[in-house]
Structure 1
Amino acid sequence: MKIELSQVSRWYGNVVAVNDVTMTIGPGVTGLLGPNGAGKSTLLHMMAGFLAPSNGTVTLDGNQVWKNHHIYRNVGLVPEREGVYGFLTGWQFVLSAAKLHGMSDPVSAASKALAVVDMEAARDRRVETYSKGMKQRVKVAAALVHDPAVLLLDEPFNGMDPRQRLHLMDLIRQMGASGKTILFSSHILEEVERVAQHIEVLVAGRHAASGDFREIRRLMTDRPHLFRIRSSDDRKLAAALIVDGSTGGVTLGPDGLEVQALEFRRFTWLLPRVAQANGIHLQQVSPADEDLESVFAYLINRSA
């Protein structure tokens, strides 16, 4: 099944959460990557029919999602926020989801869903006693209980220990390979790389980039980088670097150099060779803008 968004926006008063997003999510695993507050949850909730777009359309195989309860035969949602009654056991929670979906054999469906997420041993414990990772898994079980063709997961790996995370990653990959349409959100590129075949990047509510992880990595790596450098002769090193086309600008200060590298790969190849050729000892080379927010800021400015 295919989810299509066409010029979708969502605002709350004067606050724009999602701004003119157009994208298509097809079978396989797609990662929705973006920093916290980018609008990922809002976008997922519109895809699941829980929120109406303020503008634009969201469709599932050509059918409008908003106010269309029939989509829930084919859609499962795992929200980031806890929405589980703590007094229920894991079994009661998943069984109630199976009954709400009108499954012909809800007991069998609930048992299968709990087994898929490796929660059989804890099924009779109250949800309020679960760890964050266990709560995540029981929410996944409830979303899978009716075997949906589309699964939407909002930051599904939050709070999971390494074993739980690897298990869920394997499960998501298997479901994607079987032909299901899987979309999961994350703010961690490495997490998305390990699972998703395709990545959509959302920044400040806007669609900033799209491609497989190699393309997204290339966009992030090939952007201008700012380096802080200290050496045995900063002035001589600055003069030698500025003549090369991979360097956009060099600032000489009391604490060393700040160098803007326009071509990341060439600059990292060039710097040690220039230093060696001029008899300069490099004492410190560190990126000044490697935090994820700066990477996303570059991508959104690029798409503006």
Structure 2
Amino acid sequence: MRVTAGLRGFTGAEARRRAESVLETVGMAKRADRPVRTYSKGMRQRIKLGQALVHDPDLLVLDEPLNGVDPVGCEELNDLFRTLAAKGKAVLVSSHILHEMDQLADRILFICRGKLLASGSLAEIRDMLDDHPLKVRISCGSPRRIAPQLLTLESVKSVSIEPPCDLLLEVQNPGRFYAEFGEFAAGNDAQVHRLKATDTSTEAVFDYLMERAARPE
């Protein structure tokens, strides 16, 4: 790590200070004296991340940074990325493990075969896919009673019942639906236990984008 600091123009005590600081940051300070060849893949990922951080860059570009990292380590590194972003650093992460991005990225670029399919927040991109109604699962006390009533809402495209007490909805305008449903539930004693959109994950949105891209123009 001190060699990397030296390559960045730091010498002597400053190179040593920066090396020790980033080793602490990436959770490798207690293992710093071990030969790199004895490290696991996840530990080597941490070392490479430390090398990228040693000169305190404003922009951090990471290619599959969580590859080979165990679940606990993934959460620790994600926390680090969030901390860096909160400090004003730009963190650009390339990953094909899409679910990793669900809780990490505030802006996403979907790219396939060198073509940009969409960019923005995950919610913005999902709302853009108006040819794919949002799928919402509702657990409630009386699904058969309220199912036909839900069809009167302008934003609801379809309703199906999934025993014992779930409703599956297709919603055309999510923003309008949530506003309408709040009033509906309050006025119809819907006894709602849970409401959850089921196709807003990064993987689901990417699948929709790929389907759209495959259509003939």
- TM-score, length-scaled by structure 1: 0.48
**Cα gap change, 1:202/1:110 in structure 2, threshold over 3 Å: closer, same or farther?**
farther
- 2:61 maps to 152
SS in 2 for 1:228: strand
Conservation of the 8 A alpha-carbon contact between 1:234 and 1:252 = yes
| Equivalent residue number for residue 205 of structure 2 | 295
Cα pair 1:250 1:260 within 8 Å, conserved: yes
Partner of 2:19: 114
SS in 2 for 1:192: coil
- Confirm or deny that 1:220 pairs with 2:130: no
The answer to whether the aligner puts 1:192 opposite 2:94 as a matched pair is no
The Cα shift of 1:225 comes to 1.9
CA drift of 1:240 comes to: 1.6
The superposition leaves residues 214-233 of structure 1 with CA deviations (integer Å, 9 ceiling, x where unpaired) of xx333335753212345454
Cα deviations across residues 6-25 of structure 1 (Å, max 9, x unaligned)? Answer: xxxxxxxxxxxxxxxxxxxx
Structure 2 counterpart of 1:46: none
1:273 has 2:178 as partner? no
User: CA offsets per residue over residues 69-120 of structure 1, 9 Å max, x none?
Assistant: xxxxxxxxxxxxxxxxxxxxxx5xx63x679x6x777877964652352255
8 Å contact 1:246–1:263 — kept in the other structure? yes
Decide which structure has greater strand share: 1
- CA gap of 1:278–1:184, structure 2 versus 1, over 3 A, is closer
Q: Is contact 1:206–1:300 with CA below 8 Å preserved after alignment?
A: no
Instruction: Quote the Cα distance in structure 2 between the aligned partners of 1:111 and 1:134.
Output: 20
Change (3 A) 1:253 1:124: closer
Aligned match of 1:259: 169
Whichever residue aligns with residue 192 of structure 1, its letter is A
| 1:45-60 matched pairs, under 5 angstroms | none
Task: Find the aligned partners of 1:219 and 1:281 in 2 and give their Cα distance.
Answer: 31
- Contact 1:133–1:164 (Cα < 8 Å) also in 2: no
| Cα offset, 1:300, TM superposition | 4.0
Given that 1:242 and 1:248 are in contact with CA atoms closer than 8 Å, whether structure 2 keeps it comes out as yes
Q: Is the 8 A contact 2:60 2:89 kept in 1?
A: no
Tell me the residue number matched to 2:153.
244
Aligned equivalents of 1:151 and 1:278: distance in 2?
Answer: 51
Determine helix, strand or coil for the equivalent of 2:148. helix
Deviation, 1:260, is 0.4
Deviations 1:36-72 (A, max 9, x none): xxxxxxxxxxxxxxxxxxxxxxxxxxxxxxxxxxxxx
Partner SS for 1:207: strand
- The whole-number CA distance in structure 1 between the counterparts of 2:38 and 2:87 is 29
Q: Does the aligned pair in 1 maintain the 2:110–2:118 contact within 8 Å?
A: yes
One-letter code aligned to 2:46? R
Determine the C-alpha separation between the residues in 2 that align with 1:252 and 1:184: 40
How far the C-alpha of 1:161 sits from its partner, in A, is 6.2
What secondary structure, in the 3-state scheme, does the structure 1 residue paired with 2:45 have?
helix
- 3-state secondary structure, aligned to 1:258: strand
CA contact (8 A) 2:156 2:169 kept: yes
- CA shift, 1:247, in A, is 0.7
Alpha-carbon distance in structure 2 between the residues aligned to 1:204 and 1:254: 42
The answer to whether the Cα contact below 8 Å between 1:246 and 1:262 also exists between their aligned partners in 2 is yes
Specify whether residues 278 and 150 from structure 1 end up closer, same or farther in structure 2 by C-alpha distance, changes over 3 A only.
closer
Contact 2:102/2:202 (8 A) holds in 1? no
Give the alignment of 1:136-215 within 5 angstroms. Answer: 136-143=45-52, 151-157=60-66, 158-159=69-70, 160=73, 165-167=78-80, 169-171=82-84, 176=89, 183-186=92-95, 187-193=100-106, 199-202=108-111, 206-211=115-120, 213=121
More displaced 10-residue stretch of structure 1: 114-123 or 147-156: 147-156
- The Cα shift of 1:262 comes to 1.3
User: Structure 1: where are the runs of 5+ without partners?
Assistant: 1-90
Structure 2 CA distance for aligned equivalents of residues 266 and 109 of structure 1: 56
